[in-house]
Amino acid sequence: MPFNIPNSLTWARIALIPIFVGVYYLPGTWLSDHERNLIAAGIFIVAAVTDWFDGYLARTLHQTSAFGAFLDPVADKLMVAAALIMLVQLSRVDAILAVIIIGREITISALREWMAKLGEASSVAVAFVGKLKTAAQMTAIPLLLYNARLFGFEVRPLGTFLIWVAAALTLWSMGYYLRKAAPRFREE
């Protein structure tokens, strides 16, 4: 495993997950609900920014690696899954949305691994619809975590709308990737 700045940022994202979840399990006398939500949203935003930043640094500093390419999406999926599970527990996201989003991530990860073994990883490379899904998801989650007024604006309805958009784009992108791999399904 190469030790470099991008991989260190990815490991830091993974290390933030138990802290992120733990915020909601601290005694009520330590933090108010608003403080919990603010800290959790902040941690999630830091994780999202480091996700972009580690990829940028890997390319800029020429520190890309096979391990980094493997670990980065794992860290993303772990953070998103942890956030969605917490949001379901907090009754801010319907469980079906979490199942759709997490289930798609597992399915597409397995599909990409299988296609890579067949030497056809490029046929299921990240598509624009996947990037739209990620943008909607990474905007919705911190809004739903924060769950309060921001600059006089109630953010939860926007977060709820965007998580539904993310779920719809999740299904659309999953269909897109499965169609791209369909010829291989028929061969196997």
Nearest to 109 by CA among 138, 141, 77: 77
Copy the structure tokens of residue 77: 């999926």
**Structural domain spans, the chain:** 5-187
| Ramachandran angles phi, psi of 49, nearest 5° | -65, -40
Q: Which one-letter DSSP state was computed for residue 2?
A: -
Q: Report pLDDT for 130.
A: 78
Report which residue type is found at 85.
Answer: I
Q: Report pLDDT for 123.
A: 58
CATH topology of domain 5-187: Four Helix Bundle (Hemerythrin (Met), subunit A) (1.20.120)
- Residues (pLDDT < 70) of the chain are 1-2, 120-127, 185-188
In angstroms, the CA 187 to CA 89 distance is: 42
